[in-house]
Structure 1
């Protein structure tokens, strides 16, 4: 199996979820994930936000706020919604994933919760639809004000593994509190939760990067990453706190801190501008974790390869 650093679009096309996980692992902490929103007007209308993120060095693209029952990606040249995911793969040459949200109706609130359409929630039906649409991976997480809890993520993981099969690549975890009172700051995740996620079916455990959420320190994150690795999972450290719109110096600090703690994947969120990180920050993060050589190659490699 090739390390992801060396993969072209044709390699991604042939990979199962388990093979993609192995390819990520072989890259030793040098994989960049960019989150984008397709339902918003793109930063530049001539291209989708997904294409722009790919052009600035993202290896994997994660669609946020995507309704699997009413698929929309603005500025995409398709007539049939069922072809959206396939067309994004053609244009970007990247694996495409989707966020689905395990909303807990009994969550203790610290703020007013938003109401989500069924196509964004992590249910058996939405997972089946995500599979039918052709997503390469699924991420079970929560946007702000959604009431996603760790307990509900565990339940959704079991459902996702049953629906998607053993070869699927499943990411799970929280980037921030998601409006839940008892899962804030350093209490967003614990060693116990990491193990529960993995036993329920997570291939990759998601957690906040050091410096993004209050109380999420280098030492604490390093220990959690070690626990995940000991149980056979990878770790994606995330910027889900609008710091994707910070200055490049801040981005580099988060990038190096995440690398020091042992991250296998590095995630940057979609709120730098409306639906995408500041594109230069995607590139700055990528250069910080793997240098210009791998960054420029990823940026330049044609989806026809």
Structure 2
């Protein structure tokens, strides 16, 4: 098994979820995930946001606001909906994942919540549809104002594992409060809840990067990452608080602190411009965690390799 740093499009197309996990682990904290919104007009409409993020150095692409029952990636004008994910993977040569949201109808609301379409909710039906569409991994998390709770995330992990099988790669966790009272800032998630996600079948735990939510310090992030590793999972530290639209110095600080906390891979969110981080910030993040050598190779590598 190659480390992900050395993988090209022909490697990714053959990987199972478990093999992708091992490739990430072997890369020793040098893997970058860029989240993009699939359901809005791209920043530059002649290419998808996923293509733009990949070209600036992202190793993996995570689609947000994607409805599995009405599949569409804005910018893929000639793609059949049933083939949209596979067409996108062919164009970018990277693993592509999907956000699904374990909404809790009984969540205590910290703010007015949005109603989501069934195709974005975490359910047995959406997991089956995601598998059929060809997604390489699933991320169970919450967008702002959705009412996703840790309790529902744990239940969704169990369901996803049952539906998608042992080889699927499942990420679980919250990067901010998602509009839920009592699950924000330093109270976002307890260590025992993280362990519960892993015991339910999660391969990777998503946590906020130090400095992205109030109270998430380097020390507290490291303690959570240590707990994740002690229970056999990998840790993804996420920047999902619009700081993906910050200046280069902020991006570098978040990236270095996340690496010192022990992250196995890093997430940069989609709220910089129109459904994508500031593209240069994807590159700055990549250079910070692994230097220009690996960043430029990832940016330049052809999908025909």
Query: Same-fold call, TM > 0.5?
Result: yes
Q: Does 1:260 align with 2:260?
A: yes
Stretch deviating more after TM superposition (238-247 or 75-84) = 75-84
Q: What is the CA deviation profile of residues 197-221 of structure 1, one whole-angstrom value per residue up to 9, with x for unaligned ones? A: 0000100000100000000111111
Match of 2:48 in 1: 48
Stretch deviating more after TM superposition (291-300 or 71-80) = 71-80
Q: Secondary structure of the residue that 2:11 maps to in structure 1?
A: helix
Runs of 4+ with deviation above 4 angstroms: none
Q: Distance in 2 between matches of 1:166 and 1:98?
A: 18
Match of 2:173 in 1: 173
Q: Secondary structure of the residue that 2:13 maps to in structure 1?
A: helix
Q: Distance in 2 between matches of 1:76 and 1:304?
A: 19
Q: What is the CA deviation profile of residues 181-233 of structure 1, one whole-angstrom value per residue up to 9, with x for unaligned ones? A: 01010111221011000000100000100000000111111011011101110
Q: Distance in 1 between matches of 2:24 and 2:205?
A: 13
Q: Does 1:190 align with 2:190?
A: yes
Q: Secondary structure of the residue that 1:99 maps to in structure 2?
A: strand
Q: Secondary structure of the residue that 2:19 maps to in structure 1?
A: helix
Q: Does 1:236 align with 2:233?
A: no
Residue 45 of structure 1 deviates from its aligned partner by: 0.8
What is the TM-score when the length of structure 1 is the normalising length? 0.99
Q: Distance in 2 between matches of 1:45 and 1:7?
A: 28
User: Contact 1:57 / 1:282 at 8 angstroms: preserved in 2?
Assistant: yes
Q: Distance in 2 between matches of 1:21 and 1:131?
A: 17
Q: Secondary structure of the residue that 1:125 maps to in structure 2?
A: helix
Q: Distance in 1 between matches of 2:249 and 2:299?
A: 21
Q: Distance in 2 between matches of 1:171 and 1:78?
A: 31
Q: Distance in 2 between matches of 1:79 and 1:236?
A: 31
Q: Distance in 2 between matches of 1:148 and 1:293?
A: 39
List aligned pairs for 1:211-230, cutoff 5 A: 211-230=211-230
Q: What is the CA deviation profile of residues 234-279 of structure 1, one whole-angstrom value per residue up to 9, with x for unaligned ones? A: 0000001000000011000000000000000100000000100000
List aligned pairs for 1:125-136, cutoff 5 A: 125-136=125-136
Q: Distance in 2 between matches of 1:220 and 1:141?
A: 20
Q: Secondary structure of the residue that 2:62 maps to in structure 1?
A: strand
Q: What is the CA deviation profile of residues 155-176 of structure 1, one whole-angstrom value per residue up to 9, with x for unaligned ones? A: 0000000000000000000010
Match of 1:73 in 2: 73
Q: What is the CA deviation profile of residues 71-121 of structure 1, one whole-angstrom value per residue up to 9, with x for unaligned ones? A: 111111434101111111110000000000000000000100000000000
User: Contact 2:35 / 2:270 at 8 angstroms: preserved in 1?
Assistant: yes
Q: Distance in 2 between matches of 1:230 and 1:78?
A: 46
Q: Secondary structure of the residue that 1:267 maps to in structure 2?
A: strand
Match of 1:33 in 2: 33
Q: Secondary structure of the residue that 1:256 maps to in structure 2?
A: helix
Q: Distance in 2 between matches of 1:78 and 1:115?
A: 30
Q: Distance in 1 between matches of 2:221 and 2:50?
A: 29
Q: Distance in 2 between matches of 1:287 and 1:193?
A: 33
CA RMSD of superposed structures (Å): 0.6
User: Contact 2:79 / 2:87 at 8 angstroms: preserved in 1?
Assistant: no
Instruction: Number of aligned residue pairs: give it.
Output: 305
What is the TM-score when the length of structure 2 is the normalising length? 0.99
Runs of 5+ unmatched residues, structure 2: none
Q: Secondary structure of the residue that 1:105 maps to in structure 2?
A: coil
Q: What is the CA deviation profile of residues 25-56 of structure 1, one whole-angstrom value per residue up to 9, with x for unaligned ones? A: 00000000000011101010110000000000
Q: Does 1:87 align with 2:83?
A: no
Q: Secondary structure of the residue that 1:14 maps to in structure 2?
A: coil
Q: Distance in 1 between matches of 2:86 and 2:2?
A: 23
User: Contact 1:78 / 1:87 at 8 angstroms: preserved in 2?
Assistant: no
